[in-house]
Amino acid sequence: MGLLGAITGPRDLDGLTPGQLVDLAAEIREFLVAEVSKTGGHLGPNLGVVELTLAIHRVFDSPRDAIVFDTGHQTYVHKLLTGRQDFSKLRLEDGLAGYPQRSESPHDIVESSHASSSLSWADGISRAFTMTGQGDRHVVAVVGDGSLTGGMTWEALNNISDDNSRNLVIVVNDNGRSYAPTIGGMAHFLNDVRTRSSYRNLHRSSEKLFGKLGTPGRAFYRGIRGGTHGFLSRFTNNEALYSNLDIKYIGPIHGHDIVAMQSALEQARNYGAPVIVHAITEKGRGYLPALADTADQFHAVGQIDPETGEPTEVASKPSWTSVFADEIVDIASSNPRIVGITAAMLRPTGLHKFAERFPGRVLDVGIAEQHAVTSAAGLAFGGLHPVVAMYATFVNRAFDQVLMDVALHKAGVTFVLDRAGVTGPDGPSHHGMWDLAILQVVPNIRIAAPRDATRLREELREAVAVEDGPTVVRFSKGSVGNEFEALRRTDDGVDVLREAAHKDVLIITVGPMAKLGLQVAERLAAQGIGATVVDPRWVVPVPESIIGFAAEHRIVVSIEDGVRVAGIGTRIRQDLRAAGVDTAVTELGLPDEFLDHGTREQILERVGLTPQDIARDLVSQVLGSKIPVARPLPDDIELDARLRREPS
């Protein structure tokens, strides 16, 4: 890795010849395949942006020129060129993050890594540069073509075009895919550009094409102008206000021709106004296993054999996603009213099997979660029952639509939230830790948290049977754990997993935290403390029997893998008070912090959600030495006798 090893920052690229840049690109691809295959990560997207990223750093002066990536999973090459070449702990605790992270480098600007936001960032940064007299600084937004399906992108374009005197370059990384092939009208247009005969010879002719507007450029310009003009004029009834979307277009450029990319970017930099540079790239370029993967070109991989691309570890148990994927097909087979909706994540959320079996009943709306939710409300009004499948972190983006379009209208819509709770290596922006706190404030919403595969299938069927309001089924990332059968089920659906003769502690677990709750109960039993463990199954609203259980016990502890501020534990405490039950409640969950990347187990240990930590605190609370203090027994001598009699 002779050339790559000598790169400590972007300016080390300045002295390289075109031939050396080609060699460096090859070294980077070898490095990515070798390193990412050991740790897992986003391989395909980064193999596709090698030359594009090299050209950007050759032309622009980061970090003085701000480079914003949409989304951040395509920044591995950027990390390498900005001096971060230790990938041995990529996405692991104490290692490099899989997304941009300001604490790692001043070259990283935006950390959130949720798609379609970069143009709004770029709009704000470029305005700030202009308003503060820093007119010599540039902003570069690298936008995947899938991000063009998001509504924020179009809102930003409208504002960027309204003030076109700024140094702003928008690089459209057009590989025809977000995860899977990109959906929507803009995708169809870009696909048409890619397949035209004029592009088939683009590698040879790109040096001539890059500086010319050309027919494809004019069509692209008209597409943006006409789309924005038509969309906004319908809602504002003021066509004149939005009729002049004037953004310079350069392209299409061969995204793997470094010389052509550099020349196009230099022209864009010198233009003095917003410019779109349309670069056509190939996801997974240079790595045959990725190119052969028709599903997503190795968008994200686990540990793999770098030679074959085959996984080196095969899960012994099915994933939560696969259980949902099979069950929703079975449900849809007997209920023709069930339809699926996803936002550019057909395969990651498990709807691909539904789409294969019933292709006319699954809608992929692109990276447009807000539209997906309101469209689902419309589908419900039309007599269908939509199942909206997305990652838990992405439902944050559509809260207003869940509240005002679904719940207010009592629409029967089921939300299936994958990757709920602590997800691990993807880091702060991808933990699904806010959904319980955010969604439980929605009036009449019902939220289920299955603890195992059997309960997932069961609760999914219960959810789609509800027609008078929104339902939510949330589950974790990775493999489903062991089955935990209930000793009994109450009339209102609460599963009792463990009971003790002495009603000291009531442990209420949310979803997969059932395992942790049972482990805590075992430790308490070893200390002579009796614990009942219950799984509400449906955590919102709080079942009535939970109130009854709490009244019978000396102290209650709730355990959830969501943020504890306004979490399920808080709701239980409020419901107890409303019912006149004064049992103390300990609410355990995730802190209201942005949790760094690491394995799920490492993160849970970091925040104190371990059997030993929880049991230790509960023993102190039962003994009255730590707040909240358990209610006293009718005869205080009873517990003392038990503690002396039973082993510690």
What are the residue numbers of the active site?
A: 283, 369, 397
Q: Do 285 and 175 contact (CB within 8 A), yes or no? A: no
- Dihedral sign, CA of 103, 105, 106, 112? negative
CA dihedral 405, 409, 412, 417 (to 10 degrees): 30
Sheet holding 362-364, edge to edge: 362-364, 338-342, 385-391, 414-418, 471-474, 446-448, 538-540
Q: Do 272 and 298 contact (CB within 8 A), yes or no? A: no
- Residue 503 buriedness (CB in 10 A; 0-12 / 13-18 / 19+): middle
How far lies 309's CA from each of 15, 38, 89, 283, 549, in Å?
35, 11, 20, 15, 52
| CA separation for the pair 476, 609 (Å, rounded) | 16
- Dihedral sign, CA of 331, 336, 337, 343? positive
| Torsion angles phi and psi, residue 447, rounded to 5 | -125, 125
**Three-state SS for 595?**
coil
**Three-state SS for 512?**
helix
| CA separation for the pair 275, 507 (Å, rounded) | 58
| CA separation for the pair 376, 363 (Å, rounded) | 10
Q: What is the DSSP string of 173-231?
A: EE-SBSSSB--SHHHHHHHHHHHSHHHHTHHHHHHHHTT--HHHHHHHHHHHHHHHHHH
How far lies 316's CA from each of 280, 313, 319, in Å?
39, 9, 9
Task: Give the amino acid at 42.
Answer: H
Please name the residues in contact with 508: beta carbons below 8 A apart, sequence gap of 6 or more.
517, 534, 535, 536, 546, 556, 557, 558, 559, 568, 569, 572
Please name the residues in contact with 422: beta carbons below 8 A apart, sequence gap of 6 or more.
431, 433, 561, 590, 595, 600, 603, 604
- Residue 235 buriedness (CB in 10 A; 0-12 / 13-18 / 19+): exposed
Q: What is the DSSP string of 539-583?
A: EESPPHHHHHHHHHSSEEEEEEEEESTTSHHHHHHHHHHHTT---
SS3 per-residue string spanning 374-409: HHHHHHHHCCCEEEEEEEHHHHHHHHHHHHHHHHCC
**Three-state SS for 65?**
coil
**Three-state SS for 346?**
coil
How far lies 251's CA from each of 46, 156, 173, 210, 228, in Å?
21, 21, 11, 5, 21
Please name the residues in contact with 299: beta carbons below 8 A apart, sequence gap of 6 or more.
42, 43, 44, 45, 177, 179, 283
Nearest residue to 450 (alpha-carbon basis) of 441, 460, 442: 460
